[in-house]
Structure 1
């Protein structure tokens, strides 16, 4: 009975982690370029017991389950039209590379850019796009091609090429570190970033005037939440049943 209590408790902890992940997905349903997360489970160490006194048969008994890892799913969200020419979405694989205040590099798919005081393209949180695209103060219109070429129409109606937006890709993007606010960091598991112009080397194209939506499917998350809640309740009922049996055993008189 003691084993049953501990095994059921591990199940409750694992399902609680799953419920937390699903709840976080649902809370970010409308967050641009949010990537849904899921929980990987693993069986805890097995205990081998002798179940036959005659032939000495052995039986392995699982000792529960645990949430081993949070996984991000990087499939693309829907591209939604915006009214801002500074909004850029990636259609396909790849990330924008940005510079953090510390000088380190981070990667994001959130492309709602703006201009800082010096005319450089920065993220909504002020992180500088690593390609360092600077827009002239007398620019009256900005054009970004699908291949990432940025140009501007100036007040004298002339055209000026401002630079090239490159994309970063990873061999194992699912292993990127999650920083905050849609930012990700490279590590040994994800490998170093490789760079290419949009549309080359398996990377996607950029779409001006679009924002990538979250890839969370509300119906799927609600179904997963219901299943996780039922599994949690099932483990709690095992604890109650084991407790009742222990009470009965303790009340027996020899």
Structure 2
């Protein structure tokens, strides 16, 4: 069935509704640690070829141009913008940020590995480094009971002052996961990402090696959402939605006039 102007305008409304939802989620997470903003991508829907360029005409010539009618727009995908967020100092020894590429590894209760750039960690009752949800950071690192100051070097080496010691003792080594296509990681709740076939398997290594970023202790990566950019996008989205709404009203008026004429 051929698409009418009403149907085409409706696809425009649906597209802008999706775009607004993406913008709303970005703004909602403007203060979320290490959040990466999303962008909605759109593509034209199939064209109705009423006449193909080069087709023979009734007067034994060929048409120099075709007659192709678009059927609207569709949401193609969403893209995560993996731009580095600002690294802010917190002064908390267990706050860690990755300056550059890579992700911390997190072990879920199901035994599955997930990944995050949100390094607002703490110690569990057992002395393990965990996320705010209690998920254990991998490789598992246990800080001995009674240990003093904790130091995390930029390469991920974790040291602590043990009771009776005059020098820090290495208690573990954090490693960083990198991916061939990090944009294809599956976003989940709790600032976590999951591996997918499109992302490729995790490549594990020390921070600062093979393109992986360094670890900054006492710091957290901020959300990369720019409020001004999102507000400008929101205004553009509102205007586009209004235009498509007016198109529906205009087509409706045309149909009413046609019915009255007939």
Q: TM-score, normalised by structure 1?
A: 0.96
User: In structure 2, which of residues 93, 108, 114 is the aligned counterpart of residue 100 of structure 1?
Assistant: 108
Aligned residue in 1 for 2:89: 81
Aligned residue in 2 for 1:205: 214
Paired residues for 1:18-29 under 5 Å = 18-29=19-30
Q: CA deviation at 1:126?
A: 0.7
User: In structure 1, which of residues 239, 242, 245 is the aligned counterpart of residue 254 of structure 2?
Assistant: 245
Where in structure 2 are there 5+ consecutive unaligned residues?
none
Paired residues for 1:176-187 under 5 Å = 176-187=185-196
Aligned residue in 1 for 2:33: 32
Aligned residue in 1 for 2:197: 188
Q: CA deviation at 1:180?
A: 0.9
- Alignment deviations for residues 65-106 of structure 1 (CA, whole Å, 9 cap, x no partner): 011212111111000111311000000000001100100000
CA RMSD, aligned part only? 1.5
Q: CA deviation at 1:130?
A: 1.3
Q: For 1:115 and 1:16, how far apart are their aligned partners in 2?
A: 42
> Given that residues 3 and 71 in structure 2 are in contact (C-alpha distance below 8 angstroms), is that contact kept between their aligned partners in structure 1?
no
Paired residues for 1:1-254 under 5 Å = 3-50=4-51, 54=59, 57=63, 58-158=66-166, 159-253=168-262
Q: CA deviation at 1:155?
A: 2.7
Q: For 1:36 and 1:199, how far apart are their aligned partners in 2?
A: 25
> Given that residues 106 and 136 in structure 2 are in contact (C-alpha distance below 8 angstroms), is that contact kept between their aligned partners in structure 1?
yes
Q: For 1:230 and 1:99, how far apart are their aligned partners in 2?
A: 45
- Alignment deviations for residues 105-138 of structure 1 (CA, whole Å, 9 cap, x no partner): 0000000111111111011111111110110011
Q: For 1:167 and 1:2, how far apart are their aligned partners in 2?
A: 51
Q: For 1:79 and 1:53, how far apart are their aligned partners in 2?
A: 69
Secondary structure at 2:155's aligned position in 1? coil
- Alignment deviations for residues 146-192 of structure 1 (CA, whole Å, 9 cap, x no partner): 11100001232332111111000001000111111210000110000
Stretch moving more, 205-214 or 42-51: 42-51
Q: TM-score, normalised by structure 2?
A: 0.93
Secondary structure at 1:93's aligned position in 2? coil
Corresponding pairs, count: 253
> Given that residues 176 and 184 in structure 1 are in contact (C-alpha distance below 8 angstroms), is that contact kept between their aligned partners in structure 2?
yes
Where in structure 1 are there 5+ consecutive unaligned residues?
none
> Given that residues 50 and 56 in structure 1 are in contact (C-alpha distance below 8 angstroms), is that contact kept between their aligned partners in structure 2?
no
> Which consecutive aligned stretches of 4+ in structure 1 deviate over 2 angstroms post-superposition?
50-58
> Given that residues 98 and 214 in structure 2 are in contact (C-alpha distance below 8 angstroms), is that contact kept between their aligned partners in structure 1?
yes
